[in-house]
Every structure is written in C-alpha cells, then in structure tokens.
Structure 1
C-alpha cells in the first residue's frame, strides 16, 4: 500500500524548516537567492496542501474543488484537473515539498487509474467528468441530480495529455506507462480540416459527444478517420489567444494535424462594420503564411496594442505559456503579446478601475458560484468578461460604424483572482509579488491551502474555497519561476520543437509595446 504524508504533517515539517527532498531551486534554479523566493516557496507549500487535501488517495484523482478549511471536496473531476494535479506533483517534488518517492507513488496511482477510466474507444480521449473517489464516468451531476451528457473536450484532453508528456520526462520509471496513455490519445479527432467559417486553414472543434446532446451539435464522421460518428460542437476554437491552443500545439507536435493550424484562428475578428459587434474595431494588416492570408489585427488599451483573447482574461492568454516556450519560439508574436497582456491587466486594475489590485480571470464568485472575470476592452466578446461584481460593461465607439453607449463607466466591486497574478510572474515579478502581498496581508485572501480563489476588493468579500485548476496554475507558475522553467523542459522534446517551432517563429503579430500614451 502506498502511504503519503498527511497535509498536516507536510505543513508542520515545512513550518519547522525541514526539507523533505532537496529543492530543485537550491540545486540549479537560476533565481536562487532573489528577493521573494522564500515567499514563493511558502506559497507553493501551502498551495500544495490544498491539492493534497482534495486528492483521493486510492485513485490519485483530485476533486475539482475543496472548501477553504480543506475539509469538504467536490464529488467530480475533469481531465484538466487530473493533468494539473500531475504537473503539480512534479513541481512539489522539484521544490522539495514532497520526496521523490512520494511523488513517484502519487503519479503511479494516478496513471494506474487513468488506464482504467472509461474513454471514447475511437479517439482514446477522456470524458469531461468523473467521480474522483471511484473513477466512474458521471452521467448524473452529483450536486443537483441533473443529467450529464458525456462530452469529449478538446481543451481538457489537451491539458491531460500535456501532463503525460511531463510525467514521462520527469519520472523515467513511469515513462513507458505515461507514453502508452499519451500515444493512445488522437488529437486529429477534434480537428476540422475545412476550418471555421471565414478562416483559411483547419481549426479544432470544441469537442464532441457520442450521442446527440439536447443542444446544438453537428453530426459528422469523426475527423480522425476512425469510421465512427461524432456529434461535434457547433463552435470551433477559432481565436488565437485562447487556452485551447494547447491542443493545437499537441496535435502539431504529434504530426496529427498540420502546422498551418496556427493560421486557422482569428487574432481579432476582421475589420469593418460587418464585424462591429466585436468589442473594438481592430487595426492591423494582412500577412500571408504558406499561402494562407491572415488578418493580423490588434486592439488597443492605454496606448498599448495587442492581440486580445475572447474574454479578456489572464488564463486564456497565459496558461499555455506555463508549458510551451512561447516567447522563445514566437519572438515576433508571443514575446510581444504576453508582457502587454499583463500590462493591460495591471493598468485596468490600478489605474482605470482604481481597485488597488489586479489579475482578472474566471474564478469563484466571492458571493457564490463561479463567474468569468476579465478586462472587458481586452476581449473580443462584445458582452465579455467584466472585472467587477456589477458586471459593468464598457461600450466604446466603433468609428464610422457604431457609437459607444458606455465608454467611460464607473466600476464597482472588482473581483481579483490570485492565479491570474501568478501567471504574470515572468513578465512583472515585482508587480506580482506586491499585488499578492496586498491580497494576503490587506484583504485576507489567504488560508491553509494558500490563496483563496478570489476576492471582491471593494467589499473585502473572499471566496473561501480552492479550485484544482487554479491551484495547479499557481504551482506551475511558481515552479517555473524558482527552477528556471523546468516544466517547459519536461514538456518539450526534439520532435515537438522540429514540428512546431518554425510555424510559431513565422508568426508576426501587430502587437506594439512602445505606444503607451
């Protein structure tokens, strides 16, 4: 029987200054000795405590969430949650929070369970919801009893597959098992070679069902040529700045979809009044890549031009950057866009909205449930993610097309989520540490499992719970910062670099970081 140290034991040993394994940062971390490293290490240890508490010891599956006292975990999990737990286990090991042996045992337990989970036979993909205690596919929602229509999600399977790449490199004794699971997942099953409407290259669908769902779907032969029928989502993942690009990267790396898929998504929607429903009218230029004409459009905010996401949130823009060396491989695209995205979020929170804090991304609603937060003007969606509880919608002029109805609003009770700040670590370390200190010390958004999921900064209302996805992003961000991007080195291999890097290098965004007013 595998035995793990309890959360209380781990926390006690760390508090007493006992290292459970040599921290990788102390061995080879380029940031060793930098101010703030001890604080980041503390954040990581506490964050790991929440992930430990929400993980079933028998199955190695993490729950989707847990209460702020680490006492009550949810009764469902997803492929993204499982993937995030696996790379968080690697990170906890590399930071010396848990021993090498414990990390190996934890990952082995999870891989054993993954081998037995029910999957779609024609693609090898995992369903979106399982019971973390038994591994059973959910057909009934545990909280409400409502039916669950089993769905195969493109992006969720992307994050799980990404974690298997990490495990095979980080723990050689599990490489064969992780490889077998990874190789069985066919990302070509999601890729529509005809592309989305108005786009020149192929594009991923959002996923598929095996049987018709009650809402919109498109019946088609499965794209991987299996001969099976799938009921695909009516929408494609057709925006460039999206967390879903992890699945595109993996499909290209595996040779399952062409590298030209990078040209099959919108930077912004096209210019002109026919597209004036989008949040801003973009500027930019058309560029041609391998015969595909792409509108390289940008939005502007506070004098900065950038490629927006759909909702204007941090995780859409920066979550894939945790694993993929985007700024290195995309010197004229992501290297420009990522720091501007961070600057836009910071400017919105500190200057325009006057919240005194920043970092906006989908997270727990401090007043109950879950909500999507972002910088409205930094997202293409016209009724997009807003940054406050009041859902203050900013509506500016689209010159020559429409007149804005609310160009300069008063913002209300802003909602900040800590994981958004952690994602910004590579681009504004000092600003991130200052922001997090404010959330912890002044707003009380910190508990036994690290930062609570969100805080409404005006009222001081805290969402006292932890989400597995958000905690795993925090672990990855801290691990990369303290170990010199170890997760990226685990994730990338020569084949991926050969197939993906040239296409990323060719991209030229119209982002401009030197145009601030």
Structure 2
C-alpha cells in the first residue's frame, strides 16, 4: 500500500547541517555471545537483569504465533489472553537485543522474528490504512471482539501510538536482520500514519488523533471523518495527541519521515498549555516561556518550575511519556537546545521527588501494575500538566500548587503515603544518571521481594513492601531496550535511524528550542 498523500520537509536554513552517517556499533558480549564480556562497573548486573527480563518475554510468547501476551504472572506460569501492537513490537526489538547481548543465538533470534513477522502478515488489519487493531489473541492471532476475562464487547480500535511502536520495531528488524529485511519492510511500508492525522486540528496546527474505530463505538465520543480522503468514514477519538512530552511523538516522527504527515506537525503540540489569562488556568501551574515560530507554526515554549529547575512537563508526569521515544530516536544528541536539556532534567526531577520531596528512599514513577490489584498510572504529579495527573503513591495524594490569579492552591505541600516505584522507569533513565539508576535498582532488589525469575516485578509499594508480582510485556520490553542501548552503544537507535530518517527528522529536532535551554 502506498500513502494517499505525501509531504516533504521544507529546508530549514538555520539548521542545514550535513547528515552524519550512522555506523554499526561494536557488539558487547554476554553468555554464549562470543563477543567478550561487559567491562564497565555495573555492566554485569545490567546483563543479568537483561537475561532475566528476557526470560519473562520468552515465557509470555506463544511459540506458534510469535505473539507476546500483554502480561504474565510472577511465576511465569499464566500468560494473559490478549496482546496489542505495542506488545508485539516490544517482543521484536527485545529479541534483537537478546541476540546482540548473546542471551540467545542468531539462528534462534532469526526464527523467532520470522515467526512473528509471518503472523503479522496474516492478521486482520484495517486494509486501507494498513494499521493493526488494538487487541488480538496471542495464541491464534485473531482480532478480539469480546474481552477474554469478562466477555465484554470489544469495539475494534486502531491506536495511533500502538501502531507507532509496532512500526518502530519493524524498522529495527529490517535493519538488524538482513535476511528478514524485505518481510519487515513490506509490513512497514503498508502502514499509513496519514490516516491518524488531522490537518485541521487547530488554526495553523495539524495533530494526530488518538486513533479511530471502523464502526461507531458503543459509547463515548467519536468523530466521523476520513483524513485519507478516500473511502468510507471512520470514527476518530475526540482527543488529539497535543502535548510535546508524550510517548505518542513516536508516531509523529514516523509519519513525518515517511512523508505521510507534514513536517510542521512536529511543532504543533503544546509544551505546556498556553498562558492566556485563565483559559488554561486548570493546569498544574502557571507556565513561563516565550513564543517562537517554526515552519509557520507559532509555539509557546512554556516551562514549569520543579526541583529547582525549569522543564517542559508531560501530561501526567511519568517517565515513559518523556523517555520512551528516546530509546529509538537520538533526541538528546540532535536536540541540544531541547531534549538534551529536558531529558536529564526530567530524570533529576523524578529522583528528587522520590528521594527528597516524598522521602520514599527510591524513585522512578510510570504507569504499571498496581501492587494492590489492577493497573494504574503513576508519575510525579508536579511534573505533569494535568492538575489531577498521575500520583506517585498508593493513596493518590493530590498536589495543587494553584494558578496565579486564576486558581488558589489547595495542597501545595502534600504529605505523601505509600510510594509506588516502577523499575522500568528507572531503567529508562540510564543514559542520564547511570550511577543513580544502578543504586536505585540495587536497593529495590535487596530490600524488597521485588525480583523473580523474569527480573523485577512490575511495581513496588516501597512503604508497605507490597509488590505487583507480575510482568507486563510493554514494561519488560522497555527494560530490554534501555539495557541494550546502555551496553551496546545505543544500538537500537542505530538500527532505527537510517539516512533518510535522519535527513528528514534531524533538522526539525535541531531547530527546536525549549525555554529551559541555556541559549
């Protein structure tokens, strides 16, 4: 399938730097890898974490389909009966990392990848867009229309961000395993992100919707339209992905690189909500910044103050919103005046919150399994735009700093309860504070029943010692990616980024300035 509309990036003279070729990294070793052994302090520990994390991904993957389940119990005995494009993509890139670390052999990895790609080619999709539905059975790859646990109706949905992570993994496979390049590329080329992109989101601004249904959902808000301009309408979510520090930016990168959405879309999202009287006075705090223009898009480069520094917040204040795309796109390398400042600031803010402000003694907060049953969104609320963003503790302690001239503060100095730390959030911080990450993880492993046959359990309530003793494939695959990049010199990024991607995307990232940058 080819895209129904194509966009090209205009020249940005101020940042027209020569494109740098990305050379393959030297492979660090591991058991059975034949490449020597890690040499930096802590490398052996990271390799052990990777070996055990891989064990959970192996256990939750159906060998016949090559589809990883969404989750598995802590004893690796009972896997969930559903999977998503993100889960599938995470297994693909984790297989590459396991191979490159020497945890599994090259032939084993190749056959695993081939099985998954073959299954992906056979799965039911939305054919006009080439996009995958959000829930499938991992055992027979069928699209789910009823929820396995409850029998509730599932209205088949196509998620922008989930398809983004699957597409990212296909790029990695195509680069990392030459024998499967054609198979992975055919799937990747069939995925058109233009179907998600609203060219009339706001005046002068284009944005991705959250996704769409082919048929109207049973309840909730849906907007009938067709952004591809051909065929019957689909039913879009009523929200856009409109914040910059969001995991959803992976889909924007891909759509721009593929020419399926305009380059100006990179600048269309909010850094913070605008500072316009009290129109956005509901947000966590009053932002400070200045307005700049990029490719004709006027951007308020707002920042929040937190932990003695200024930074661009995410919606909920979680680590994965900020750092998951950085596993694949070298944002900090390319964005000297944006991500190179904001990523380490986010890590330091999360560390400061856990160690100083809340006094948990541990840090790293991101959506994960709830140690007290179910699933919850965890984060540092003060790092989030939403005034009722993601809490860092089991009590959902609210933080309210107020908004100057618009909303009085109700709880600017809260007392926090049973802090819930999520290990994958700490792994994501490896590039920005390796020593603090290793110390944090060592403490979690030593002082809690937080580590099993599949590595770290998904979340630990560090006050009560209550543990969510299961594994989520998304969180495990983030850990694999983070360790792979740390031990293999950012190899996942080098697989993901080719010359075309760099030529198109790098100038956009280089041009961007956040108001917390020292420029």
- State whether structure 2 residue 333 is matched by structure 1 residue 328: yes
Superposition deviation, residue 498 in structure 1: 1.1
- The question of 1:492 aligning with 2:491 is answered no
User: How far apart are residue 229 of structure 1 and its match?
Assistant: 1.1
Asked whether the 8 Å contact 1:333–1:509 carries over to 2, the reply is yes
Cα deviations by residue, 1:444-480 (Å, 9 ceiling, x for unpaired): 2110000000000000001000000000000000000
Separation (CA, whole Å) in 1 of partners of 2:145 and 2:177: 34
Match status 1:266 vs 2:270: yes
- Distance of 2:516 and 2:452 partners within structure 1: 38
Match of 1:152, SS? Answer: strand
Pick the aligned partner of 1:462 from 461, 467, 474: 467
Residue 218 of structure 2 is aligned with which of 214, 219, 226? 214
Q: Matched residues in 1 for 2:178 and 2:290: separation?
A: 47
Corresponding residue of 1:48: 54
Q: Per-residue CA shift, 1:19-41, capped at 9, x if unaligned? A: 33334x75xxxxx4110000000
- Cα drift, residue 513 of structure 1: 8.0
TM-score, reference length from structure 2: 0.93
Tell me if structure 2 keeps the 8 A contact 1:122–1:228.
Answer: no
2:444 equivalent to 1:432: no
Q: Which one of the candidate residues 290, 294, 298 is aligned to 2:299?
A: 294
Aligned partner of 1:171 in structure 2 is: 177
- Residue 202 of structure 1 aligns to a residue whose secondary structure is strand
Counterpart in the other structure of 1:383: 388
Does the 8 A contact of 2:224 with 2:233 survive in 1? yes
Matched, 1:445 2:488: no
Structure 1 counterpart SS, 2:205: coil
Looking at structure 1, the residues matched to 412 and 136 of structure 2 have their Cα atoms a distance apart, in angstroms, of 44
> Which residue does the alignment assign to 1:410?
415
SS at match of 1:194: strand
Residue 88 (1) aligns with residue 100 (2): no
- Give, in angstroms, the shift of residue 511 of structure 1: 2.0
State the distance in 1 between where 2:229 and 2:171 align.
Answer: 25
Cα 1:493/1:18, change in 2 over 3 Å: closer
Partner of 2:241: 237
| Cα distance between partner residues in 1 of 2:457 and 2:307 | 30
Contact (CA 8 Å) 2:223, 2:237: kept in 1 or not?
Answer: no
User: For 2:515 and 2:108, how far apart are their aligned partners in 1?
Assistant: 47
1:112 equivalent among 111, 118, 122? 118
Q: Deviations over 1:224-273 (max 9, x none)?
A: 23323110000000000000000000001101111110111000001132
1:18 CA displacement: 8.4
Q: Distance in 1 between matches of 2:298 and 2:518?
A: 24
Number of residues of Structure 1 aligned to a counterpart in Structure 2:
490
Look up the match of 1:200: 204
Q: Is the 8 A contact 2:30 2:102 kept in 1?
A: no
Q: Is the 8 A contact 1:79 1:126 kept in 2?
A: yes
Pair 345,226 (structure 1): closer, same or farther in 2 beyond 3 Å = same
- Given the alignment of the two structures, is residue 251 of structure 1 paired with residue 238 of structure 2, yes or no? no
Q: Does the CA contact (< 8 Å) of 2:313 and 2:384 recur in 1?
A: yes
Q: In the alignment, what sits opposite 2:33?
A: 21
How far, CA to CA, are the matches of 2:501 and 2:230 in structure 1? Answer: 24
Matched, 1:63 2:64: no
Distance in 2 between the 1:410 and 1:359 partners?
A: 18
- Matched residue of 2:95: which SS? helix
CA contact (8 A) 1:255 1:499 kept: no
Secondary structure (helix, strand or coil) at the match of 1:114 reads helix
CA apart distance, 1:170: 0.4
* Aligned with residue 505 of structure 1, among 510, 513, 516: 510
Q: Distance in 1 between matches of 2:274 and 2:210?
A: 22
Deviation, structure 1 residue 216: 3.5
Q: Tell me, yes or no, if the aligned pair for 2:338 and 2:517 is still in contact at 8 Å.
A: no
Structure 1 residue 74 corresponds to structure 2 residue 80: yes
**Partners in 2 of 1:225 and 1:164 — Cα distance?**
27
RMSD between superposed Cα atoms in Å:
1.4
Instruction: Tell me the SS of whatever aligns to 1:193.
Output: strand
Partner of 2:134: 128
Unaligned runs of 5+ in 2: 1-28
TM-superposed CA distance for 1:512, in Å, is 4.8
1:129-182 CA-to-partner distances (Å, cap 9, x unmatched) read 000000000000000110000000000000000000000010000000000000
